Amino acid sequence: MNALRKITLTGHLTQADKAASDYAYIPFDLPQPARRLTVRYSYSAAMSSNRSEGGNVIDIGLFDPAGADFPGGAGFRGWSGSARSEFTITPDNATPGYTPGPLPAGPYQVILGLYRIWPAGADYEIHIEAEMEDQKFDFSEKSAFSIRENPSQPCKSVSVASEWLRGDLQSHTFHSDATGSPQQLLAKAKGLGLDFLAVTDHNNTSHHRALAALDDGALLLIPGQEVTTYYGHMNVWGTGRWCDFRCRTADDIRAIIELAHSQGALCSINHPKTGGPAWEYGFDLPVDALEVWQGPWPYRNAESLALWDRLLAGGWWVPVVGGSDYHCPGGEETNLLRLGQPTTWVQATERSVAGVLGAIQRGRVCISARADGPRLEIGARSAEGAAEMGGALSVAAGAPVEVTTTIWGGNGLRLRLVVDGKAAFEQGVDDDEARIVASVLPQRYLRAELVGDCPPALLPPQAPPGIDLRDWCWALTNPIYCGKIEDTDLHG
């Protein structure tokens, strides 16, 4: 006969607790295995995470007896941020954001994320209900590991000589803070004609299991997670394994990046701009990409682009990508974030996860405002050789470089070449497919972008008043890195 065990945990959290650690671990024990575990919580002066003052925002997650060591706590069972006030886990099912599987006897820890604590502090209550199981189970390390690994289905790989693929590298479902299902998201992506999609729910990988069940091969699904910390966000692509997010310092985030790399994944800094939120860990990190364009262009993307130009001018050699940050279904009438806005194009050597991620690593990437929007690529030639987008070119000091830009769908826009952070060339585009050749004098790098005014009819619905429609970016390339012939390290 099953017994119901009820536990109530209460406490008070202060700003001093937040200063000491961003996370509070609230322990409880199960004396025997459980068939079902439900956790509910509440706290005083709760407010929306979109507000910056006037109350508390406390996130929630769970670790089981396998442990919560950083980084990569083996007992991680899920995270819902502040999007849910309760969750349930059983051996066969779980609330989105949490991993189903055995619930062994032993010490558990509710993890509370102290996102915002107001001066009066926060009183919390956690109510736990565990339906206990009399039967003994074999909770071996192997069986527990296979459940938590939660890999995506093996990716189908089709070799191609070289193909441009379009997709979205940041999107969300109700497995974190969105309201739409994985089914809705995939249907939207297919309707836009995307070739690949990364679903990057916040701080968990429970969506991978759902996506694997929906994978019909029509859309290349990139395993992803948005590592969402209180000091910046980072996408991880290419692994079904959970990556830790509990970090405060640059050393902490470096440990998480190294953990992701050990699993064969890539890491990309997300939306480093005002309200992004900004990235506070610095850039002396082994990241693989930078998300320079998030959502429609007016969402302060000019800040991210200017930051990237400063980093490039200082010798930082990291490619850029775009991501819509679409929260399915996104409140289509009121939210400016739309799937495929922007769209990231990659020139892949094969239609596979490895093909897409390899193209990102090589900088064979351009970004377009929309899935059906313009795109472009560049090649350059000096007296010493030639290079394509993402490559390196030796250049004698003061010597010219011939740049060839190929443009698709850019009629009526203007091509702008940016050299070492400054506009060096600009010319109107008067055809849907064009090739423009120009000469520039780079020292560090050169890149291309398409700019033009936004027709009022294309302004996103419910756009805030006062948006400047002039000189929007409609597409941009990754750079060609340049260096003097005697330079031995083009990374700077």
CB atoms within 10 A of CB 201: 27
For range 319-332, the mean pLDDT:
87
For range 144-148, the mean pLDDT:
28
Q: How many angstroms separate the Cα of 359 from the Cα of each of 91, 269, 350, 368?
A: 39, 17, 10, 16
pLDDT at residue 129 is higher than 70 = yes
What pLDDT does 483 receive? Answer: 82
- With a pLDDT cut of 70, the percent of the chain lying above it is 89
What pLDDT does 463 receive? Answer: 66
Q: Tens of pLDDT along 65-105? A: 999 999 999 999 999 999 999 999 999 999 999 999 999 99
pTM check: above 0.75: yes
pLDDT at residue 470 is higher than 60 = yes
Query: How many alpha carbons lie under 13 Å from residue 227 in its C-beta half-sphere?
Result: 32
Residue written as token pair 């012939």: 485
Strand partners, 165: 346
What pLDDT does 456 receive? Answer: 72
pLDDT at residue 460 is higher than 60 = yes
Residue 348, amino acid = A
What's the angle, vertex CA 189, arms to CA 185 and CA 191, rounded to 5?
Answer: 115
Determine which helix (DSSP H) or strand (DSSP E) holds 328, and give its type and residue range: none
What pLDDT does 38 receive? Answer: 98
pLDDT averaged over the chain?
90
For range 175-196, the mean pLDDT:
95
What pLDDT does 160 receive? Answer: 44
Which of helix, strand or coil describes residue 289? Answer: strand
Residue 246 tokens, joined: 């509990």
Domains in the chain and their CATH numbers? 3-149 (2.60.120.380), 150-372 (3.20.20.140), 374-492 (2.60.40.10)
Contact assessment for residue 391 and residue 261, using Cβ atoms and an 8 Å cutoff: no
Residue 109, amino acid = Q
pLDDT at residue 348 is higher than 70 = yes
Q: Between 135 and 9, whose confidence is greater?
A: 9
Cis peptide before 342 (omega within 30 of 0): yes
Contact assessment for residue 72 and residue 259, using Cβ atoms and an 8 Å cutoff: yes
pLDDT at residue 402 is higher than 60 = yes
What pLDDT does 332 receive? Answer: 61
What pLDDT does 475 receive? Answer: 97
pLDDT at residue 449 is higher than 70 = yes
What pLDDT does 436 receive? Answer: 98
What pLDDT does 140 receive? Answer: 30
Q: How many angstroms separate the Cα of 98 from the Cα of each of 130, 148, 168, 259, 351?
A: 16, 10, 24, 21, 31
What pLDDT does 490 receive? Answer: 41
Q: Tens of pLDDT along 408-422? A: 999 999 999 999 999
Strand partners, 27: 109
What pLDDT does 64 receive? Answer: 98
Q: Which of 16-30, 131-145, 328-342 has the lowest mean pLDDT?
A: 131-145
Q: Tens of pLDDT along 360-374? A: 999 999 999 999 999
Q: Tens of pLDDT along 205-261? A: 999 999 999 999 999 999 999 999 999 999 999 999 999 999 999 999 999 999 999
pLDDT at residue 142 is higher than 70 = no
Q: Cα-flanking dihedrals φ and ψ of residue 184, to 5°?
A: -65, -40
Q: Which of 327-331, 407-411, 437-441 has the lowest mean pLDDT?
A: 327-331
What pLDDT does 51 receive? Answer: 83
CB neighbour list of residue 369: distance below 8 Å, 6 or more residues apart: 296, 297, 341, 342, 343, 472, 473, 474, 475
